[in-house]
């Protein structure tokens, strides 16, 4: 009897232990499942279709949002942004940070893309973005954190034109039409105030300017955008240019640039001797990274009265413009002639030389900046 009682007692104790272990395993499995779900919520992945994640709370005033973005290739066409409800079209995004097909990062400003600094990206590298958003004013500022540096990609940018009256933002949308983009670590916080007097850095959107081929006594212009990324004003004390044929214009010298504001310096190339010419544009200020040096280059060629006039048929109402490419060989490589999509169906290339043969081809560009396949090449012989 005592043995049987002891046996039953031992069985009961073992059953209690097994029951406790069973409950522990269930709780552990639930914890693993919940951890996986939480991780899934904070990441989005897009490759050819829209991916959306709702914010923990809808935002109707000023706030800060940060996230990490990793492109799959060194040339993708991927955008991430904030929307009211899940985004299914590009026009649903009020803000936009894009890894563009030209291998740099830019941001949406109203009806177009821009960038205060030229930042190339690489495949598999994670980029940390900081967005200070003001829904009431329908503006936002985008910073990119690289190592110990904070680069301003755009200040006081306007919401996308279609979203200029949106009252609440409550979702993050991602779309990659070429390649893939992974977004993780989405974090919301209140919008910070700029610390007055903090060291300022004047950031140029380019490190060099190439004027290409320019005829003798003709002029070509390029611009440099300078952005103050600190908490105190920057005074530009001087703008100087060196090199034959290069000059600078604008009102930057003596200008005071307030925090998160920008100004523009215009550089001009007017050569009077043929050949490859080089120079430098220097901006001196009280910013901590002064002076800024921009390399200048251009090729001066004998002036030509020749030109090639191109025209083509419209590709339809969904086209925002066209890109024109030229090459000295039918098989390429081809170079882009226009700096922004051509809004008409004609183009005149005045940088052609007598006795040379050129090949041209056209692509159409949609309102979401997706480019079509190129047209068949057209041959032009300059007499």
Query: Can you give the residue ranges of every domain in the chain?
Result: 44-190, 202-301, 308-381
If one compares 192 and 340, the residue with the highest pLDDT of the two is 340
**Cis-peptide, bond into residue 291, ω within 30° of zero:** yes
Range of lowest pLDDT (91-95, 123-127, 181-185, 348-352): 348-352
- Quick one: which of 201, 200, 204 has its CA closest to 282? 204
Side-by-side strand order, sheet with 256-257? 208-215, 292-301, 275-285, 234-242, 256-257
Calculate the average pLDDT of the chain.
82
Q: Say if residues 140 and 41 touch (Cβ distance below 8 Å).
A: no
- Given this model, what pLDDT does residue 368 score? 76
Which of 271, 359, 302 shows the shortest CA–CA distance to 349? Answer: 359
159 vs 369: which has the higher pLDDT = 159
Residue 46: the pLDDT is: 93
Alpha-carbon span 157 to 145, nearest angstrom: 18
| CA-to-CA separations, 361 to 130, 323, 346, in angstroms, rounded | 39, 9, 12
Length of the chain: 383
Q: Which two tokens stand for residue 179?
A: 């390649």
Share of the chain above pLDDT 70, in %: 83
Q: What is the mean pLDDT of residues 242-259?
A: 78
* pLDDT of res. 264: 86
CATH match of 308-381 with 3.20.20.70 = no
Task: Please give the average per-residue pLDDT across 12-33, as a whole number.
Answer: 42
Segment 296-306 mean pLDDT: 77
What confidence category does residue 166 fall into, taking pLDDT thresholds of 50, 70 and 90?
Answer: very high
How many other CB atoms sit within 10 Å of the CB of residue 38?
Answer: 9
Q: What is the pLDDT of residue 42?
A: 65
- Give just the sign of the alpha carbon dihedral 296, 299, 300, 306: negative
- Res. 8: pLDDT tops 50: no
pLDDT at 10: 47
Please say if the pLDDT value at position 302 is more than 90. Answer: no
Coil/strand/helix, residue 23:
helix
Q: What are phi and psi of 12, to 5 degrees?
A: -65, -40
Distance of CA 381 to the CA centre of its chain: 38
pLDDT for residue 250: 61
Tokens describing residue 42: 């904070």
pLDDT at 18: 42
Architecture of the structural domain at 202-301: Sandwich (2.60)
Q: Strand pairing partners for 213?
A: 299
pLDDT for res 304: 59
Confidence band, pLDDT 50/70/90 cuts, at residue 251? low
Give 57 or 5, the one with higher predicted confidence: 57
The reply to whether domains 202-301 and 308-381 share a CATH topology is yes
Pairing of strands 97-99, 44-46: unpaired
Rounded to 10 degrees, the C-alpha dihedral 216/221/222/225 comes to: 150
The closest alpha carbon to 168, from 178, 157, 177, 159, belongs to: 159
pLDDT tens digits, residue range 25-59? 344 444 433 333 333 346 899 999 999 999 888 88
Q: Rounded to an integer, what distance in angstroms lies between the CA atom of residue 212 and that of residue 352?
A: 12
Q: Which of the four pLDDT bands, split at 50, 70 and 90, describes residue 84?
A: very high
Give 153-165 pLDDT, tens digit per residue. 988 899 999 999 9
* The residue to which tokens 């060194």 are assigned: 74
What Rg value do the Cα atoms of the chain yield, rounded? Answer: 28
Q: What is the pLDDT of residue 66?
A: 92
Residue 15 CB partners (closer than 8 Å, separation 6+): none
- Burial grade of 197 (CB within 10 A; 0-12, 13-18, 19 or more): exposed
Checking if the pLDDT of 244 tops 90, the result is no
3-class SS of residue 26:
helix
Q: Residue 67 pLDDT more than 70?
A: yes
- Give the CATH architecture of domain 44-190: Sandwich (2.60)
Q: Does the pLDDT value for residue 241 go beyond 70?
A: yes
Asked if residue 230 has pLDDT above 80, the reply is: no
pLDDT higher at 217 or 306: 306
Output the pLDDT for position 36: 32
From residue 247, how far is each of 144, 221, 282 by CA, in Å? 32, 10, 11
DSSP β-bridge partners for residue 231: none
Q: What is the pLDDT of residue 156?
A: 87
């Amino acid at each position: 009897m005592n043995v049987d009682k002891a046996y039953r007692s031992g069985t009961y104790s073992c059953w209690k232990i097994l029951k406790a272990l069973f409950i522990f395993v269930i709780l552990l499995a639930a914890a693993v499942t919940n951890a996986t779900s939480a991780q899934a919520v904070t990441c989005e992945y897009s490759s050819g279709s829209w991916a959306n994640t709702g914010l923990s709370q809808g935002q109707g005033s000023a706030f800060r949002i940060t996230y990490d973005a990793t492109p799959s290739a060194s040339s993708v066409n991927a955008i991430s942004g904030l929307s009211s409800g899940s985004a299914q079209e590009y026009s649903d995004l009020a803000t936009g940070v894009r890894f563009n097909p030209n291998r740099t990062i830019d941001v949406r400003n109203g009806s177009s893309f821009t960038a205060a600094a030229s930042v190339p990206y690489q495949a598999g590298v994670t980029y940390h973005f900081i967005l200070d958003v003001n829904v009431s004013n329908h503006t936002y500022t985008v910073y990119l954190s690289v190592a110990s540096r904070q680069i301003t990609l755009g200040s006081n940018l306007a919401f996308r034109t279609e979203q200029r009256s949106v009252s609440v933002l409550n979702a993050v949308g991602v779309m990659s039409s070429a390649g893939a983009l992974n977004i993780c670590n989405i974090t919301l916080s209140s919008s910070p105030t700029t610390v007055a007097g903090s060291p300022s850095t004047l950031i140029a959107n380019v490190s060099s300017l190439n004027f290409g081929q320019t005829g003798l006594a003709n002029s070509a212009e390029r611009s440099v955008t300078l952005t103050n990324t600190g908490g105190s004003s920057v005074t530009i004390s001087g703008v100087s240019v060196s090199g034959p044929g290069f000059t600078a214009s604008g009102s930057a010298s003596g200008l005071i640039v307030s925090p998160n504001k920008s100004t523009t310096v215009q550089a001009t190339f007017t050569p009077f001797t043929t050949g490859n010419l080089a120079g430098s544009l220097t901006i001196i200020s009280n910013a901590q990274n002064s002076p800024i040096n921009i390399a200048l280059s251009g090729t001066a060629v004998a002036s030509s009265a020749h030109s090639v006039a191109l025209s083509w048929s419209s590709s339809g109402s969904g086209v925002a413009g066209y890109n024109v490419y030229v090459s000295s060989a039918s098989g390429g490589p081809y170079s882009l002639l226009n700096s922004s999509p051509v809004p008409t169906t004609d183009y005149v290339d005045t940088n052609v030389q007598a006795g040379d043969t050129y090949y041209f081809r056209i692509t159409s560009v949609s309102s979401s900046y997706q480019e079509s396949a190129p047209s068949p090449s057209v041959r032009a012989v300059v007499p």
